[in-house]
Protein backbone atom coordinates (compact mmCIF):
# COMPACT_ATOMS: atom_id res chain seq x y z
CA UNK A 1 0.00 0.00 0.00
CA UNK A 2 1.41 3.39 -1.05
CA UNK A 3 1.82 5.56 2.03
CA UNK A 4 1.90 8.94 0.28
CA UNK A 5 -0.78 11.01 -1.37
CA UNK A 6 -0.77 13.70 -4.03
CA UNK A 7 -1.09 16.34 -1.32
CA UNK A 8 1.86 14.87 0.58
CA UNK A 9 4.00 15.06 -2.55
CA UNK A 10 2.95 18.65 -3.26
CA UNK A 11 3.44 19.71 0.38
CA UNK A 12 6.95 18.28 0.39
CA UNK A 13 7.79 19.75 -3.02
CA UNK A 14 6.57 23.18 -1.84
CA UNK A 15 8.77 22.96 1.25
CA UNK A 16 11.83 21.96 -0.77
CA UNK A 17 11.31 24.80 -3.24
CA UNK A 18 10.81 27.32 -0.43
CA UNK A 19 14.02 26.11 1.23
CA UNK A 20 16.33 25.98 -1.76
CA UNK A 21 14.61 27.15 -4.95
CA UNK A 22 12.94 25.44 -7.88
CA UNK A 23 16.27 24.80 -9.61
CA UNK A 24 17.21 22.39 -6.81
CA UNK A 25 14.00 20.38 -7.01
CA UNK A 26 14.44 16.98 -8.65
CA UNK A 27 12.15 13.98 -8.68
CA UNK A 28 14.92 11.88 -7.10
CA UNK A 29 15.42 14.36 -4.27
CA UNK A 30 11.67 14.55 -3.70
CA UNK A 31 11.38 10.75 -3.64
CA UNK A 32 14.29 10.49 -1.19
CA UNK A 33 12.69 13.09 1.07
CA UNK A 34 9.46 11.09 1.10
CA UNK A 35 11.20 7.73 1.40
CA UNK A 36 9.55 6.28 -1.69
CA UNK A 37 10.56 5.20 -5.20
CA UNK A 38 10.67 7.84 -7.95
CA UNK A 39 7.97 5.92 -9.80
CA UNK A 40 5.63 6.59 -6.89
CA UNK A 41 6.10 10.33 -7.38
CA UNK A 42 5.28 10.01 -11.08
CA UNK A 43 2.19 7.98 -10.22
CA UNK A 44 0.83 10.72 -7.94
CA UNK A 45 1.75 13.94 -9.75
CA UNK A 46 3.13 13.12 -13.19
CA UNK A 47 6.50 14.34 -14.47
CA UNK A 48 8.46 17.32 -13.17
CA UNK A 49 6.78 19.84 -15.51
CA UNK A 50 3.35 18.70 -14.37
CA UNK A 51 4.52 18.88 -10.75
CA UNK A 52 5.75 22.46 -11.25
CA UNK A 53 2.43 23.44 -12.88
CA UNK A 54 0.60 22.04 -9.86
CA UNK A 55 2.87 24.01 -7.51
CA UNK A 56 2.11 27.18 -9.48
CA UNK A 57 -1.64 26.46 -9.25
CA UNK A 58 -1.27 26.01 -5.51
CA UNK A 59 0.62 29.29 -5.03
CA UNK A 60 -2.02 31.15 -7.04
CA UNK A 61 -4.75 29.59 -4.88
CA UNK A 62 -2.89 30.48 -1.67
CA UNK A 63 -2.44 34.07 -2.83
CA UNK A 64 -6.23 34.23 -3.01
CA UNK A 65 -6.44 34.00 0.78
CA UNK A 66 -6.35 37.77 1.21
CA UNK A 67 -7.14 38.90 4.73
CA UNK A 68 -9.23 42.08 5.07
CA UNK A 69 -9.43 43.58 8.57
CA UNK A 70 -10.24 46.93 10.10
CA UNK A 71 -13.18 49.19 10.74
CA UNK A 72 -12.18 52.07 8.44
CA UNK A 73 -11.47 52.10 4.70
CA UNK A 74 -7.83 53.03 5.32
CA UNK A 75 -7.33 50.17 7.81
CA UNK A 76 -8.98 47.69 5.43
CA UNK A 77 -6.84 48.69 2.45
CA UNK A 78 -3.67 48.63 4.57
CA UNK A 79 -4.61 45.12 5.76
CA UNK A 80 -4.90 43.93 2.14
CA UNK A 81 -1.48 45.39 1.36
CA UNK A 82 0.06 43.78 4.47
CA UNK A 83 -1.48 40.40 3.67
CA UNK A 84 -0.20 40.54 0.07
CA UNK A 85 3.31 41.54 1.12
CA UNK A 86 3.48 38.81 3.75
CA UNK A 87 2.41 36.11 1.27
CA UNK A 88 5.02 37.27 -1.26
CA UNK A 89 7.81 37.39 1.33
CA UNK A 90 6.92 33.92 2.62
CA UNK A 91 7.15 32.38 -0.88
CA UNK A 92 10.03 34.07 -2.71
CA UNK A 93 11.06 31.06 -4.82
CA UNK A 94 7.48 30.12 -5.63
CA UNK A 95 6.46 33.67 -6.53
CA UNK A 96 9.49 33.80 -8.83
CA UNK A 97 8.28 30.60 -10.45
CA UNK A 98 4.82 32.07 -11.03
CA UNK A 99 6.50 35.11 -12.59
CA UNK A 100 8.57 32.89 -14.90
CA UNK A 101 5.37 31.22 -16.08
CA UNK A 102 3.89 34.63 -16.90
CA UNK A 103 1.04 34.25 -14.41
CA UNK A 104 1.81 37.22 -12.15
CA UNK A 105 -1.40 39.05 -13.02
CA UNK A 106 -3.43 35.95 -12.12
CA UNK A 107 -1.54 35.63 -8.82
CA UNK A 108 -2.28 39.28 -7.96
CA UNK A 109 -5.92 39.16 -9.08
CA UNK A 110 -7.45 38.34 -5.64
CA UNK A 111 -5.67 41.33 -4.06
CA UNK A 112 -6.76 43.54 -6.95
CA UNK A 113 -10.39 42.43 -6.55
CA UNK A 114 -10.25 43.11 -2.80
CA UNK A 115 -8.72 46.56 -3.39
CA UNK A 116 -11.35 47.44 -6.01
CA UNK A 117 -14.07 46.47 -3.54
CA UNK A 118 -12.60 48.61 -0.76
CA UNK A 119 -11.84 51.63 -2.96
CA UNK A 120 -15.33 51.69 -4.45
CA UNK A 121 -16.88 51.14 -1.01
CA UNK A 122 -14.91 54.20 0.12
CA UNK A 123 -16.52 56.26 -2.66
CA UNK A 124 -13.90 56.22 -5.43
CA UNK A 125 -15.10 55.56 -8.96
CA UNK A 126 -13.75 55.31 -12.49
CA UNK A 127 -10.18 56.23 -13.30
CA UNK A 128 -9.56 57.58 -9.80
CA UNK A 129 -10.44 54.20 -8.26
CA UNK A 130 -8.30 52.40 -10.85
CA UNK A 131 -5.30 54.60 -10.13
CA UNK A 132 -5.74 54.09 -6.39
CA UNK A 133 -5.80 50.30 -6.77
CA UNK A 134 -2.70 50.33 -8.97
CA UNK A 135 -0.87 52.74 -6.67
CA UNK A 136 -1.31 50.37 -3.72
CA UNK A 137 -0.25 47.31 -5.73
CA UNK A 138 2.80 49.12 -7.10
CA UNK A 139 3.68 50.21 -3.57
CA UNK A 140 3.55 46.60 -2.36
CA UNK A 141 5.60 45.26 -5.29
CA UNK A 142 8.17 48.06 -5.16
CA UNK A 143 8.59 47.79 -1.40
CA UNK A 144 9.16 44.03 -1.57
CA UNK A 145 11.68 44.41 -4.42
CA UNK A 146 13.63 47.02 -2.44
CA UNK A 147 13.55 44.89 0.72
CA UNK A 148 15.02 41.94 -1.16
CA UNK A 149 17.66 44.09 -2.85
CA UNK A 150 18.77 45.56 0.49
CA UNK A 151 18.89 42.11 2.11
CA UNK A 152 21.30 40.92 -0.57
CA UNK A 153 23.41 44.09 -0.78
CA UNK A 154 27.02 44.22 0.35
CA UNK A 155 28.40 46.63 2.95
CA UNK A 156 27.79 50.28 2.17
CA UNK A 157 30.59 52.11 0.35
CA UNK A 158 32.71 54.70 2.24
CA UNK A 159 30.95 57.62 0.52
CA UNK A 160 27.68 56.66 2.24
CA UNK A 161 29.37 56.48 5.65
CA UNK A 162 31.02 59.86 5.05
CA UNK A 163 27.70 61.44 4.11
CA UNK A 164 26.06 59.98 7.20
CA UNK A 165 28.86 61.37 9.38
CA UNK A 166 28.26 64.84 7.91
CA UNK A 167 24.54 64.48 8.52
CA UNK A 168 25.20 63.46 12.13
CA UNK A 169 26.77 66.85 12.80
CA UNK A 170 23.53 68.57 11.75
CA UNK A 171 20.93 66.06 12.98
CA UNK A 172 22.33 63.17 15.05
CA UNK A 173 18.91 61.56 15.55
CA UNK A 174 18.22 61.51 11.82
CA UNK A 175 21.66 60.07 11.04
CA UNK A 176 21.22 57.45 13.74
CA UNK A 177 17.81 56.50 12.36
CA UNK A 178 19.30 56.01 8.88
CA UNK A 179 22.09 53.87 10.34
CA UNK A 180 19.77 51.43 12.08
CA UNK A 181 18.38 48.32 10.43
CA UNK A 182 14.95 49.22 9.14
CA UNK A 183 11.88 47.69 10.75
CA UNK A 184 10.35 46.58 7.46
CA UNK A 185 6.86 45.91 8.83
CA UNK A 186 6.61 49.29 10.52
CA UNK A 187 7.98 51.20 7.52
CA UNK A 188 5.68 49.32 5.15
CA UNK A 189 2.56 50.17 7.16
CA UNK A 190 3.70 53.79 7.53
CA UNK A 191 4.19 54.21 3.78
CA UNK A 192 1.02 52.38 2.72
CA UNK A 193 -1.11 54.20 5.30
CA UNK A 194 0.19 57.59 4.11
CA UNK A 195 -0.48 56.62 0.49
CA UNK A 196 -4.00 55.34 1.18
CA UNK A 197 -4.93 58.35 3.32
CA UNK A 198 -3.89 60.66 0.48
CA UNK A 199 -5.81 58.57 -2.08
CA UNK A 200 -9.00 58.51 -0.02
CA UNK A 201 -8.51 61.99 1.43
Which residues of the chain are modeled with pLDDT < 50? 1
Residues 75, 100: contact at Cβ < 8 Å? no
Residues 37 and 82 in one domain: no
Residues 86 and 37 in one domain: no
Q: pTM, whole model, 2 decimals?
A: 0.80
pLDDT tens column, 174-190: 988 887 767 889 999 99
Number of domains in the chain: 2
What distances in angstroms separate CA 73 from CA 139, 143, 169, one per listed residue?
17, 21, 42
DSSP letters, 21-67, are -GGG--HHHHHHHHTS-HHHHHHHH-SHHHHHHHHHHHHHHHTT---
In a domain, 166, yes or no: yes
Identify the pLDDT of residue 86: 92
d(CA 195, CA 201): 10
In a domain, 133, yes or no: yes
In a domain, 194, yes or no: yes
In a domain, 103, yes or no: yes
Residues 53 and 101 in one domain: no
Q: What is the CATH number of the domain that holds 42?
A: 1.10.10.60
Residues 6, 44: contact at Cβ < 8 Å? yes
Identify the pLDDT of residue 2: 57
pLDDT tens column, 66-84: 889 999 999 999 999 999 9
Q: What is the CATH number of the domain that holds 154?
A: 1.10.357
Identify the pLDDT of residue 1: 42
How many other C-beta atoms are found inside a 10 Å radius of the C-beta of residue 71? 7
Amino acid sequence: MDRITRDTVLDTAMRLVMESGIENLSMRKLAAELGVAVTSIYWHVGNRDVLVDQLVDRVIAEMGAISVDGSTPVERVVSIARSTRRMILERPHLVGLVRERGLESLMMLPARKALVHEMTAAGLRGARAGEAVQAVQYQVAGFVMLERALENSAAEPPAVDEWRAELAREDPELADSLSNVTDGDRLFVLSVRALVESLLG
